[in-house]
């Protein structure tokens, strides 16, 4: 069974958690005078290898806070091939607005600077509407370029909460294999066939770089010359190549996140979703485990981040009057 966010989950009462009218840095002039260092706007970044549940967690967080989501997958930013690229569906999005998802033509070549420019515009647009930006996707090099820009402008303007949804590689390997099989069942072969261009074998640009596109080249060019048995065997080989390449991508993504933690010293909160995936044969058990081990703890982490619990403690101890004023301002800006 492939885990998906269901509309039934979206319609269930959410666990108690604050819903912010706007991120703390934009609380108003009173808050600005209380923080001598100048408050920063808040941004949540959700990272993880492909297939670990990043999109699901982003929707969980977005529906518990007033938030909108910014895609950071450099392939999903293109239009088309929704099955191949595993774009979140309208049902799974639970009504949460998604930015930079399916907005570029398939042939467009997105560079890191291009992405950073569009992401910064999206962040400001979301903040100006009083919402919390949540960046989610698997293109960690683009996220790194955004956060650690040359002029340090991003970190000077925003406080970031980094969440890493992690799954043990042996468990993830099995899930990735199942997911690719499900993609084939859902029409991946037909989707790529409709997109395939016999006159173009360049897979270095745009959405054609997506895993699941170049692997089919040999199949589509030769299937008309093959008997049924050989055709089926070649298709099996293509699917196995897609599974292998997807898992290798997951390994590279995980390595990049580890590098950001250990080498660049990013403060990344790791959330272990492995037990959820080991229970995936039972949707009920998996959903319970997801809430207990992933969504619940992540919600608590984001709540503390937005309320600056750790960073405000010295101010609260230093001045009772300031502490009371801050608490009143926070209470005014929170809704039940």
Q: What is the mean pLDDT of each run of 10 residues along the chain (336 residues)?
A: 46 42 42 48 97 97 96 97 96 97 95 97 96 97 96 95 98 97 97 94 94 97 95 97 98 97 97 97 96 97 84 36 43 42
Q: What is the pLDDT of residue 309?
A: 54
Contacts for 187 with CB less than 8 Å, ≥ 6 apart:
83
Displacement of CA 313 from its chain's centroid (Å) = 31
- CA 218 to CA 186: how far, in whole Å? 21
Contacts for 107 with CB less than 8 Å, ≥ 6 apart:
205, 206, 207, 208
DSSP reduced 3-state for 45: strand
From the list 14, 121, 21, the residue with the least C-alpha distance to 59 is: 14
Task: Write out the two tokens for 283.
Answer: 């949707």
Q: E strands of 84-176, at which residues?
A: 98-99, 132-136, 158-166
Instruction: Tell me the per-residue pLDDT of 13-36, one tens digit each, with 9 for 90 and over.
Output: 344 344 444 444 453 333 333 333
Instruction: Tell me the per-residue pLDDT of 201-220, one tens digit each, with 9 for 90 and over.
Output: 899 999 999 999 999 999 99
Q: What is the pLDDT of residue 8?
A: 42
Quote the DSSP letter at residue 193: H
Q: Which domains, from first to last, does the chain contain? A: 7-167+257-335 (3.40.50.300), 173-244 (1.10.287.890)
Q: What is the pLDDT of residue 253?
A: 98
Contacts for 203 with CB less than 8 Å, ≥ 6 apart:
209, 213, 214, 217
- Other beta carbons within 10 angstroms of residue 229's beta carbon come to 8
């Amino acid at each position: 069974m492939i885990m998906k966010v269901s509309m039934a989950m979206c319609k269930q009462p959410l666990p108690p958690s604050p819903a912010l009218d706007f991120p703390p840095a934009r609380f108003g002039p009173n808050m600005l005078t209380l923080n001598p260092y100048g408050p920063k706007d808040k941004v949540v970044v959700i990272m993880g290898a492909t297939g670990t549940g990043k999109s699901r967690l982003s929707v969980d967080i977005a529906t518990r806070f007033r938030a909108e989501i910014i895609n950071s997958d450099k392939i999903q930013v293109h239009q088309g091939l929704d099955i191949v690229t595993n774009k979140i569906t309208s049902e799974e999005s639970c009504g949460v607005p998604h930015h930079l998802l399916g907005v570029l033509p398939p042939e467009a070549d997105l560079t890191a600077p291009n992405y950073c420019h569009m992401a910064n515009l999206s962040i400001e647009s979301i903040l100006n509407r009083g919402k919390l930006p949540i960046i989610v996707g698997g293109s960690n090099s683009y996220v790194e370029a955004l956060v650690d820009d040359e002029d340090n402008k991003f970190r000077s303007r925003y406080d970031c909460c980094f969440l890493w949804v992690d799954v043990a590689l042996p468990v993830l390997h099995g899930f990735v294999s199942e997911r690719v099989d499900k993609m084939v069942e859902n029409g991946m072969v037909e989707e790529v066939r409709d997109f395939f261009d016999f006159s173009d074998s360049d897979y270095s640009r745009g959405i054609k770089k997506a895993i699941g596109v170049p692997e089919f080249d040999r199949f589509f060019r030769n299937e008309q010359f093959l008997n049924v048995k050989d055709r089926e065997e070649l298709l099996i080989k293509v699917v196995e190549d897609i599974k292998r390449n997807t898992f290798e991508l997951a390994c590279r993504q995980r390595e990049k996140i580890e590098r950001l933690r250990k080498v660049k010293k990013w403060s990344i909160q790791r959330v272990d979703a492995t037990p959820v995936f080991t229970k995936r044969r039972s949707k009920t058990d998996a959903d319970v485990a997801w809430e207990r081990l992933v969504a619940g703890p992540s919600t608590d982490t984001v709540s503390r981040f937005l309320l600056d619990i750790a960073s405000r403690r010295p101010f609260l101890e230093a001045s009772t009057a300031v502490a009371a004023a801050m608490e009143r301002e926070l209470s005014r800006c929170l809704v039940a």
